[in-house]
Amino acid sequence: MPLTTPDGRYLVVRGRLWRCSDPRLSPERRAALTQELMSARRAKGAALRAGDDAAREAARARVDAAKRALGERGPVWWDDGAPDLTRHLARTTPYAEWFAEVERG
């Protein structure tokens, strides 16, 4: 299972933070959006392999829409004013001390 920050806002992948889905989504809604996201990613791959630029752009738009609906892009889903640290290295964020402890094991 991927490493998640203590507040549940981010996954840590190779030391980098990636925003988690909004935990307020119902399991059914999350499953439907995840299914759409995976379908859109498959469509993007197929369009890339086919060299179809229009289909690729349409699939990219679907990926973006699904990720926004999941809360992984766009406005943050938390309301305490904390900034979005997506793509930041964990070691350069307020999670640095926690991440150093996790890395030490």
Comparison of pLDDT for 103 and 52, the residue scoring more: 52
- Give the pLDDT mean for 27-34: 98
pLDDT at 34 over 90: yes
Total domains present in the chain: 2
The rounded distance, in Å, linking the Cα atoms of 105 and 99 is 10
Tell me the pTM.
0.90
pLDDT at 2 over 90: no
Beta bridge partners of 19: 10
Range of the domain at 13: 1-20+83-105
Q: Where do the DSSP E strands lie in 1-105?
A: 3-4, 10-13, 16-19
Q: Are 35 and 50 within one domain?
A: yes
The answer to the question of residue 5 being in a domain is yes
Q: Are 46 and 65 within one domain?
A: yes
